[in-house]
Amino acid sequence: MPAVRDWGRREYADALSEMRALRALRRRGEIPDTLLLVEHPGVITVGVQGADGDTLPDDLPVVQVERGGKSTYHGPGQLVGYPIVDLDARGRDVRRFVREVEQLVIDGLDAVGLRTGRVAGKRGVWVDDARKVASVGVAIEEWVTLHGFAVNVSTDLSVFARFRPCGYDGAIMTSAERELGRPVSLAEVSEPIVRSWEAQFGTASTVTSPELSPVAPRL
């Protein structure tokens, strides 16, 4: 039975270490498929495609990671989700899994009144095929997934203008709050995402990691 772990706000390096440890546990069959939900303090992460020589903000930590894609920003007001899923048991269909991850976000945003979708040839979740509200980048090791999605809920979008997130002009980045013209909490988006996770991956149960219990409540 899949699980959900909500870590609240968590430093990226600590969450990354725990995520990798959970991937190993999933590979050994010691935990079920698990969706991690977290909000990070400001950080730039750079995937396996690098940053295209882009100059990244020098006032934020930069972390090289094993996920697909290029550079992106995580920060307050952004809901990040890391599905730890055994694809060996799901037919080893990576493309299907990525679409399922995107669908989690699409369903979550639809529930708060924001219609979104996919754009052919572009990863992530988009508004009107032109503005990117969520990034998706995964890694797969021994057919178990890690990393996942980042939804701009009330994120400070000015940070994206300081580099080229995922290789795009930062001006394409948007948020749920900007699109809806009203305050949107992370909980408003996370709750329907969890329901979508339950529908796509089975019935979820919420647990708290004893190693990394939340240090800030989900607002």
Task: Give the pair of three-digit tokens for residue 204.
Answer: 């979820």
| Known catalytic membership, residue 166 | yes
Strand partners, 3: 34, 205
Alpha helices by DSSP H, listed for 112-185, are: 176-180
Query: Is 93 within 8 Å of 87 (Cβ atoms)?
Result: yes
Residue in 64, 103, 107, 101 with CA at minimum distance from that of residue 85: 101
3-class DSSP state for residue 209?
A: coil
Strand partners, 147: 138
CB under 8 Å to 131, separation ≥6 — which residues?
172, 173, 174, 179
**Counting every residue, how long is the chain?**
219
Q: Exactly one of 51, 65, 166, 184 is catalytic; name it.
A: 166
- CB-side neighbour CA atoms (13 Å) of 141: 16
Residue numbers annotated as active site? 166
